[in-house]
Amino acid sequence: MSNYEELFKPKEENQDKINLTKSLEENLKKVKRILKGSDDMVYREFNVGENQNLKFATAYAEGLADKVIVNEYVLKNLMVLARMTEPQVSNIREKVYELIKNGVLSVSDLKEVDDINVITDNILAGETVLLIDKWDKAIIISSKGWPMRGISEPQSDVVIRGPREGFTETLRVNTALIRRRIKDPKFKIKQMKIGSRSKTDVAVLFIDGLVNQDILKIVVDRLKSIEIDGILVSGYIEQLIEDNWRSPFPQIQSTERPEKVAANIYEGKIAIIIDNTPFALIAPTTFNSLLQASEDYNERFLMASAIRTLRYISMFISVLLPALYIAMLSYHPGMIPTELALYIAGNRDGVPFPAVIEAFIMEGSLELLREAGIRLPGPIGSTIGIVGGLVLGQAAVEAGIVSSLMVIVVAITAIATYSVPNYSFGSPFRLLRFAYMMGAAFLGLYGVVLVFLISLIHLTNLKSFGIPYLAPFVYNMSIKDLKDTFIRAPLHKMKRRPEYVAKNDKDRLSNHFNRDYLKKGEDSGGEK
């Protein structure tokens, strides 16, 4: 049976526990001392009761806690409504907590703590603390509520047909987006805090019974082992837990699309959501899954398969085309059809640079253009596009610095690069392209093949959380597992989860489902 609860047990806190005392003043002083210098803290002391003889205090961080909750449901209730409930005078001191918890506070989420460090942590996370005189415990009232960005369309993961929702910077919203897609009680959202100072919430999402326990263990162990002061963006987690930091290839997929995360969870994978970042991480990740777009499953299978194949081809183009251009032109013009070879030779006549330098200049300026365009504000960005387009295309050719064929090669390469659906997966190709170009420059086609072999060796060695990166091409390879690779088989043919992740519950679609069933009774349908 699953032992995931075991996995998520927090480590023993080595932080000292500071017990609360019975004196409100003393407690409040301690809290204030810890949070000294934080001017965004709000402390409020007040008296409650018919005779105003019960002393209370609240503390919260302004901007993080929802003031409406604090004012309307905590302070108002305590100060005004509490007088309406008639307490039994005899045991009021003993039962005051019960009374307040059950009778006064109209807030759904309450916790009882007795450690000042926990109290301050909660205040900093946006909760409100209620301290009561003559009682050595405090109540944490859930009051998180800060201004946040609404759910909007993802910027980096755009689809034409598909949901328009994207993750936001708030963890809770993000988990809810996924929970809405998986209403299975076995779907688990386990949270932990990472970062000794940032105390960032990190949630691990998976379906119990479906997830591969070994992978889950690796993921959680690695997450737990992170000891860092702060986690700001998902990239921190990604780089701290990935298998091979030297590799240019991302071994964890990041996405802004909740339905993509849900789909992967259904396959038995694990999602990691980090507070303050709109990207969820998916592990394990394979080469193949990075070339899948969520739209593939929304399209009819013929179209989706064609596009898949196109994507694989474009991947090769984006890596190989400039290198092949160099190799063919400088070393093996015999491989080019005669008429094309003659045309290229004539076209390059008068170009002062060898093909290698030409390719490096053009590919380099393309990368420059991309880099310049990314961070520029919109109106100036289009200027860069026009200027860059002119310089790269027309002017360079007219001036005779580069041949027009090179411009075509650069353009096709750029288009091919950006047809890779995952942005962070496109980057290694852009980088590798230069390695291939170097190989071609020194050794021609032989060099290209050498670099190709080196990258293939690297890819076959690479693993993502124990799963070979090239799965399903290298791992227990069977025709069945190729249904979701170069092509996307019709949905009713994809009855099983991917073999390489799912170990437990492998069936997705009932084996009894077939197309004939849909047609049953159709013959008599028209006649009645």
Give the residues lining the site for another protein (CB under 8 A): 329-331, 333-334, 338-339, 341-351, 354-355, 441-444, 447
Q: How far is the CB of 286 from another protein (least distance, A)?
A: 29
DSSP-derived pairing of the beta strands 187-194 and 200-207: antiparallel
Nearer to another protein, 150 or 350 (CB): 350
Contact of 219 with 282, CB cutoff 8 Å: no
Closer to another protein by CB, 135 or 325: give it. Answer: 325
CB of 325 to another protein, least distance (A): 10
Integer Cα distance of 119 and 259 in angstroms: 36
Rank residues 173 and 443 by Cβ distance to another protein and give the closer one: 443
Structural tokens at position 86? 């008639």
State the Rg of the chain over Cα: 31
CB of 336 to another protein, least distance (A): 8
Question: Toward another protein, which CB reaches closer, 124 or 397?
Answer: 397
Which CB sits closer to another protein, 349 or 527? 349
Check if the beta carbon of residue 335 is closer than 8 Å to that of residue 379: no
Report the residue number, 12 or 349, with the smaller CB distance to another protein: 349
Angstrom distance (rounded) from CA 282 to CA 261: 7
Least Å distance, CB 428 to another protein, is 20
Query: Residue 344 or residue 369: which is nearer to another protein going by CB?
Result: 344
Q: Find the shortest distance in angstroms from Cβ 440 to another protein.
A: 10
Q: Specify whether the CB–CB gap between 391 and 365 falls below 8 A.
A: yes
Strands (E), 104-245: 110-113, 128-132, 138-141, 187-194, 200-207
As a whole number of angstroms, the distance between CA 144 and CA 171 comes to 12
3-state secondary structure of 1: coil
What is the closest distance, in whole angstroms, from the C-beta atom of residue 436 to another protein in the complex?
14
- Cβ proximity to another protein, 353 vs 475, nearer residue: 353
Instruction: State the minimum distance, in angstroms, from the CB of residue 202 to another protein.
Output: 35
Nearest residue to 396 (alpha-carbon basis) of 438, 364, 440, 351: 351
Contacts of 138 (CB under 8 A, 6+ apart): 20, 27, 112, 113, 114, 119, 129, 130, 131, 132
510/521 Cα distance (integer angstroms):
21
Tell the smallest beta-carbon distance from residue 430 to another protein (Å): 22
Q: Nearer to another protein by C-beta: 283 or 326?
A: 326
CA distance 401 to 351: 6
- In angstroms, give the least distance from the CB of 118 to another protein: 47
Is residue 85 packed enough to be buried (19+ CB in 10 Å), middle (13-18) or exposed (0-12)? exposed
Contacts of 255 (CB under 8 A, 6+ apart): 157, 261, 279, 280, 282, 422
